[in-house]
A and B are shown apart, each in its own frame.
Chain A
Amino acid sequence: MERNLLKNKIEYGIGMICFILVCILVLAPMLLMVVNSFKSNSEMLRNDSGLPEVWTLESYKSLFTTYSSLVKHFYNSIIISIISTICGTFICTLAAYAFAKYKFRGRESIFYVLLATLMIPSEVIIPGQYLFFAKLKLINTLAVQILPTIPAVVGVYMIRQYMLGIPTSLIESAKIDGAGHMRTFVTIIIPSAKPIISSYMILHFLDVWQNYTWPLLVATKQNIMPIMVSLPTLVDSVIGFVPVWGTIMAGSVLCSIPLIIVFLLNQKAVMESVILGSIKG
């Protein structure tokens, strides 16, 4: 018994150490990013891993002076992500509601066809999308970065799964009270599906925010670039410039910390929706 207890304790200790170790490994690069952002660009070239010799806000200042375009790009990213999130969540919720709570012809088949298209990765259709938007003369606008990201089958799926759990009696009692379809949707469905809607919004926002391949191809003009595309351009060793690592790190902090805060505030809901979205086999 004694031996068992000891063994249990050792096991417990090993588990604890493993967990803490992994946490440190996870956090270290992020801390490094923050620490590095307090170094000057010239110090970053000598010392890109230790503590700053001089703690300075120079890199952050450069974001607003020499590299003020980054702030503009940051703003573009925000506009793109917010518009896409709002529109995307709205139309996905509408569709999810139809799939979850209405019976209509073709419901199953449409739904399964949509699910099947999940197998087509968005990268496959990039050439077709590019030519389509080129024909509309929309390349190098904010719209071209927003529009294709709006419809997301995953969103419909996730929200529908959640809505299936909303009791139909709620909807029926609203109808008896004389509420129309849209009113039922707004007053009953949206409030009761709020947890999934808000966590899907965060997932969608993250998705659009982190998008790289598509904007890289369609956003080549400085004034509409998102920050994800413009940040790596500062690494450039080609044009005879020395990379400005301090500024890059400050930019990275700028576009990571707000997301981390939003995520931390809504962590539970987001992680639940991750589970909902992942198990669809």
Chain B
Amino acid sequence: MTKKITLVLLVAFVCFGTLFAAATPEKEGNPSIEMLMWGGADRLNYLKTIYEKTTSLSSNEMANITFTSGGTGATDSYQLFRLKLASNDAPGIVFFGGETAATEFIMNGDILNITSEVKDQMNDILPSAVDLASYKGEVYGLPTQVKSKVWYYREDLFREAGINVGEIKTFDDFYSAGMKFKEHFPEKYFINLGPTPNVDVVIGWLGSYDNLTIADEAGNFRITTDPRFRDMYEKLYKLATAPFSLYVSDWDSDWQPNIENGTIASLLSWSWMTEFLPSYAPNQSGLWAITAWPEEFGYGGCAELISIPTATSNKAASVEVLKTLYLDSDGAVLRFKENGLLPVTYSGVEKVNAAVADIAATASSTSPLGYFGTGMVDDIFATMKYATKYNSDPSFNAEEAIIENHLNLMITGIETIDQAIANTQKDLIMQVGNPYDI
């Protein structure tokens, strides 16, 4: 009896599984391009649609795009990329959450130099975008957008508290505005800064200093020698422990609920938040406004860089997909419509500007344009003038992880500011060694 039931279950499993195991049919003969990125596949599946809508190729020459997600965070895609290189399974296209993450691969010769492939379109691409996608004058990919540092704030709450973001220039202005806000809204928080500042926070703050590199050209780390690191650590500590800041990290499971219920009144974030905020707090449509970070720590930018691995099997097809997706102006409009990302080409900008009114007319309140209003395009472009490239060395990924770790220990009170700085330096020397020696 027992045996029979076990057997029946076993057979049932197998039959059941076979029924649903039918893989998605692939078009025969077309080149297959694997896109390695981060986040859920659903989020980027629209890229496939855009490609199919805008490519000039006929349907049987079209590339068959598949998505592989490295995981949920921006760091996951390049980590998986390394592993894929190790297992001789290079994807067709790889997404780097930030161009700083790509330096290591570019220096190592893993990324295709596409300078000659984009030569013809060079004049159309925004100079800041070219800058972010280049390393030593050569182009190694296309940015999905120029990521600028954007301060999202609740216009209604700020007005009620009497805070004018235009007057906030320095860190001290920012701090006192926070205190003022807290007095007015004891239950709410001016910003959030939790125990685990992630890579966005770290690059955001590193980039706000003029050419603040982690190591000098000889490979000596400068955490203890450059006083600006201490300044940065101190400011982050001050903000994290300030009464007006909610002790919740970005992307933490409590982050979204606190935005949705109106507890967090502003976000020191990046321009891509335009894509997420409408779904995070759909009830606050029209209440959020966009401005640049306060000027004293406002500079810095990065780009989500889309590159082609040298080891990929079908380079020509990859280049074609890449150019269709990010240089085609119709594609730019579609992308803008989908997630509010601004184009990186002049022609794209022009078309988007022309289409804004049309899109806005039909936009739902939870699409970026409906959510932030038509002024959003200009607002974000205004923040882009601060977007400067951060000069990272090839070991930036490892270095950033160490800095993150000690910021965490400092904010949670396990290390004092002095210890955090000293230990960051110590760990960098011990764990990374010479950053150029990869």
Contact = CB atoms under 8 A, between A and B. Distances in A.
Contacts of B10: 82
A4 B130 CA distance: 90
B23 A223 contact: yes
Nearest to A241: B40
B73 interface: yes
A262 interface: yes
B17 A137 contact: no
Nearest to B255: A237
A131 to B, nearest CB: 7
Given A134-B88, A139-B87, A262-B6, A237 B253 contact: yes
B368 to A, nearest CB: 12
Interface in A228-244: 233, 236-243
Contact of B276 (A222, A236, A240, A258): A240
B21 A265 contact: no
Q: Name the interface size band of chain A.
A: 35 or more
A223 B34 CA distance: 13
B340 to A, nearest CB: 12
A78 B23 contact: no
A119 interface: no
A161 interface: no
B17 A240 contact: no
B40 A79 contact: no
Interface residues of B, number: 38
Interface string B11-41: 0011011101101000000000000000111
A221 B84 CA distance: 11
Could you tell me the dominant secondary structure of chain A's interface residues? helix
Interface stretch (A14-22, A26-34, A66-74): A66-74
B5 interface: yes
A187 to B, nearest CB: 19
Given A64-B20, A236-B72, A237-B251, A262 B41 contact: no
B13 A72 contact: no
Nearest to B34: A221
A214 interface: no
A237 B71 CA distance: 12
Interface string A235-266: 01111111100000000000000100110011
A266 B68 contact: no
Interface string B86-111: 11110000000000000000000000
Given A134-B86, A222-B68, A238-B39, A75 B21 contact: yes
Interface in B284-303: none
A265 B88 contact: no
B40 A236 contact: yes
B44 to A, nearest CB: 10
B71 to A, nearest CB: 8
Contact of B20 (A68, A137, A239, A265): A68
B83 A78 contact: no
Interface string A262-276: 100110000000000
Contacts of B89: 137, 139-140
A227 B248 CA distance: 31
Contacts of A137: 87-89
14 contacts: A64-B20, A75-B16, A82-B14, A139-B87, A233-B72, A238-B72, A239-B43, A240-B43, A240-B276, A240-B279, A240-B280, A243-B253, A261-B5, A262-B9
Given A78-B14, A265-B2, 13 more contacts: A68-B20, A71-B17, A71-B20, A75-B18, A137-B87, A139-B83, A139-B84, A139-B89, A236-B40, A238-B39, A239-B43, A265-B6, A266-B2
